[in-house]
Structures are given as C-alpha cells and as structure tokens.
Amino acid sequence: MPAGVVRFNTRASGKVGGSEENQFHLHELFDVPLRTGRNLIAVEIHQENPGSSDIRFDLKLTGSDQKLSQVGLVRGPYLQVGTASSMILRWRTRRPSSSVVRYGAAPDQLKGKVEIEEKSIEHEVLIKGLKSRTRYFYSIGDGEEVLAGGDSDHFFFTSPQSGSNGPVHAWIIGDSGTANANAKAVYNAYIKVKGDRYTDLWLMLGDNAYNSGTDKEYQRAVFDLYDNLLPQTPLWSTRGNHERSAEVYYGIFNMPTDAQAGGVKSGTEAYYSFDYGNIHFICLDSYDTDRSASGDMFKWLKADLEATAQTFIVAYWHHPPYTKGSHDSDRDNDSGGRMRDMRETFLPLLEKGGVDLLFAGHSHCYERSYLINGHYGKSDTFNNSMIVNKGDGKPRGDGPYEKPSPDKGANKGAVYIVAGNGGKISGGKLNHPAMYLSLNELGSVILEAEGNCMDVRLLDYRGQVRDNFRITKGD
Ligand SMILES: [Fe+2]
C-alpha cells in the first residue's frame, strides 16, 4: 500500500499475480487492544486496478499470550547520502523501537552515539561531525539490544574532500531488480573480482525491483540480495519506470536535496548531484519529472554544471539517449518519448557543461559509445563529424580518450553507456552506430578514477572483463 492515510478507495501500489497469489504473508500485530471474550477484526483488500476481474483472500489468526519476540531486524542496515563529514544509517525493524547508532574507530571502540528516542519501525539516523576519508565501525540497536554491527563487517568510509585526487572505486548496476539467479550472479561476480577493495559508492540505474517496485519487491531484489555491500557502501539511485510508486521509492532512499554532498541544491529527491573525490556525479530523473528546457530540472542542471570545478563529470538516469537493445531510442513512442527527450533536451546542455560519461539502463544489454559529441537526432543522423575519437579507448589498444581539463572541456566528447544488464538480458538489434560495442550479456560496470585518469570496465556475470576504456584529462 502507498504511504499516508489509507481510505476505502485507496488503490494498492502494486499487484499480486502468478505464484504469488498462493503465498501467505505473516503479519505480527503488536500491542493489539484485544479483550477477553468476543472481538471483531475487520480486514480490507485493496486492488491496484478497480477493473480487475478476480480477488483472493484467506485469513488465519494465531493468538499468543507469550511475550512477543524481540524487536527483530527486517532490513538493513544500509547507508545513504555519504558525505565527507556525515552518513545516514537506515534499517527497519518488525516492532517499533527507538534508534541507537554507536560508532568509532574499531568494533570494540564505538565511543560515538546517536540516539532517537521516538519509536519507529523505519529507522533513519544521521551521524555528523565525521572526518573525511576515514573508516568508522558501527552498531545499530534499540538501546537495549544490538541488532547488527559491533563487528568487522559493519563499517563505512566517509567520502574524501571534494576535489581530492585519491582513488575512487564505484560499482554501477542497472535493471537489476529480478531478484533471481541472474542478478545474484552479477553481484557475486563483482564481489569476487573486487576482493578486498572497498566499494566507495554504488549507483543503481533504476528498475531496481521488478515488477512494480513495491516494498516487498525491494526487499527481495535489493535488501535480501546485496547483503554484504549494503552495510558498507552508500547506495545512490535513480528512478526507473518500474519504480511505479513514488511513495515506496522515496521512502526507501534518501537523496541529497540540499547539496549535502556537494553540487548545487536541487530541492528535490528526484534529481541531485554530489561530489566524490574529483568526480561530480549528476543524477537526473528521466521517468517522472518535467523534461522540458523550461522545467526546473533543466534550470537546476544548468546551474549545477556551471558551478562544478571537478575533474570529471559523470551523469546517470534511467532512459538511455542512444540504444538499440530491448528499447529503441529512434522510436518516439517507445517509453513515452523519454529517451528522445533526454537526448534532445539534456545532452546539448551536458556536453556544453563538459560531461565525460553517462550511465543509463532500461535496455537490457550493454552498449558503449565512442567518444562522441553533438548527436541529438535519430541514429540515421549520426555521422563521423560527431566522433571525437573513433578509437577503442583502451590504454593497450588505440589509447585512452584524451580530453582537456574541465574549464576547457566544453563539447570535447563524452562516452555513453547503457548498462541495463544487471538482472536480465533481452536482445535487440544492438546496432546503434554511436556504439563502439554492444553486447547481450549480463553484467555490471566498475568505474575507477585517480588523478587525471578514469577507467571503466564491463564485468560480465562470470567475472570476465568484456570491455574497458580510459578517459584522461590533460592541460
Ligand atoms: Fe526500464
């Protein structure tokens, strides 16, 4: 159900179909005002679509006079809006409880403490006053009981100071929300390949939980799946078309509406920017925000691009400007014209602002362009004058894509990546002429930057590197 007040005519935020119709769901009710003798319990069923032809309902009620179970951790801990001086810790419990986070330099030295006395099942604790690029161990609990942490697995690193050149390691997945063996294989391959390397940040490109982005689907596709990464690495998401419920999506994620992590204040969770080291990350909403050049998102992006002095600019949103995979960016009626809108309206502004790299999902494949500039039409208008560097970008191949420093970087080329291959692959012609490589393979992307170098790799679900390229910044 959506958040907020539920009335008799409130529609469900997702539908139940197939084998799910036979599943029973356990709901524990606490502090229920039952009395001795006869009690009346009313139950409502809400449909997503009032025209649905069927409905099914069975109820079993089990009473107990036992002392109810402990608070119970249902979800998390997971990390949001990591900055150089703060971190938000989120988790969910079965029973309402107060929220306590203890943190410190070692698992047995958790000297810092933040406590929120108000009881809730959704826990959200902001830790402030931290040192940059520093490891903090932590535990979460309700004041009486530690629910997780206080061990070597529960820690995070704060971000480096904005503009610092130190190494950055990011993991990027798109359309990963199948909650099946494919998504698990992509995740396991990454965990194995990264080894002991800490993942500084993690981008999700939307369609994070199929089929409708319900809270239950998020539990399976995100919280149950990425078990080792969630407690250690801040997760930044953009909204896909399968995140149908804004309430669920924005209820799960915290976004930097107030430029907490750098950039220009967006005032909305739908689009935002943040700095990590010498990279400026920009998240746009291609699904449910005004995509016109007179809209607030466009105005904000213009201001944000003008304000940044970072070495690299990396943008991400869900609907790709160029794709010939399971979606076709040439078809105006594909995905409500969102791919066309983002290409025609936002690419000229981003390229003028010196964007280096764009990640999108939506098409369930991997497509990666040459270093290109100025392609805003359909694929049959693409020509050689739009290719800034027609090499493969590989240090051991044709050489890296070299770009001037950002203040001289307007319209010097960007690489466009579709990485909607995190949970399923769905074929397509895979013949967009802007692409150096198009693959119908499950996988994820690793981005690493240090100094003037940024390296990008496609890691397939078996752990093989199937593509790589480098962008360097000169004088
Ligand atoms: Fe999508």
303 and 267 co-located in one domain? yes
283 and 428 co-located in one domain? yes
Q: What is the SS3 assignment for 104? A: strand
Q: Is residue 23 part of a domain?
A: no
240 C-alpha vs ligand 1 centroid, how far in Å? 5
Residue 412 neighbours by CB under 8 Å, 6+ apart: 354, 373, 388, 403, 404
- pLDDT, averaged across the chain: 93
- Domain end among 157, 184, 203: 157
Position 53 confidence tier, pLDDT thresholds 50, 70, 90: confident
**How does pLDDT run across 2-43, given as a tens digit for each residue?**
767 788 888 887 777 776 677 666 666 666 677 888 888 888
Specify the pLDDT at position 31. 61
211 C-alpha vs ligand 1 centroid, how far in Å? 10
d(CA 358, CA 469): 14
Question: Domain of 272: which CATH number?
Answer: 3.60.21.10
Residue type, 97: S
* pLDDT for 97 beyond 80: yes
195 and 89 co-located in one domain? no
Position 47 confidence tier, pLDDT thresholds 50, 70, 90: confident
327 C-alpha vs ligand 1 centroid, how far in Å? 9
**How does pLDDT run across 122-168, given as a tens digit for each residue?**
999 999 999 999 999 999 999 889 999 999 999 999 999 999 998 99
Q: Is residue 61 part of a domain?
A: no
360 C-alpha vs ligand 1 centroid, how far in Å? 10
CB atoms within 5 A of ion ligand 1 belong to 207, 240-241, 362
Residues in the chain: 475
268 C-alpha vs ligand 1 centroid, how far in Å? 21
270 C-alpha vs ligand 1 centroid, how far in Å? 16
178 C-alpha vs ligand 1 centroid, how far in Å? 12
12 C-alpha vs ligand 1 centroid, how far in Å? 21
226 and 119 co-located in one domain? no
239 C-alpha vs ligand 1 centroid, how far in Å? 9
Domain count, the chain: 2
136 C-alpha vs ligand 1 centroid, how far in Å? 36
427 C-alpha vs ligand 1 centroid, how far in Å? 14
180 C-alpha vs ligand 1 centroid, how far in Å? 17
Report DSSP letters for 220-257, one per residue. Answer: IIIITTSTTTTTTS-EEE---TT---HHHHHHH----T
89 and 238 co-located in one domain? no
25 C-alpha vs ligand 1 centroid, how far in Å? 28
206 C-alpha vs ligand 1 centroid, how far in Å? 7
Q: Is residue 6 part of a domain?
A: no
128 and 270 co-located in one domain? no
303 C-alpha vs ligand 1 centroid, how far in Å? 28
326 C-alpha vs ligand 1 centroid, how far in Å? 10
335 C-alpha vs ligand 1 centroid, how far in Å? 8
129 and 197 co-located in one domain? no
Q: Is residue 42 part of a domain?
A: no
In the chain, the N- to C-terminal Cα span, in Å, equals 54
Range of the domain at 141: 73-157
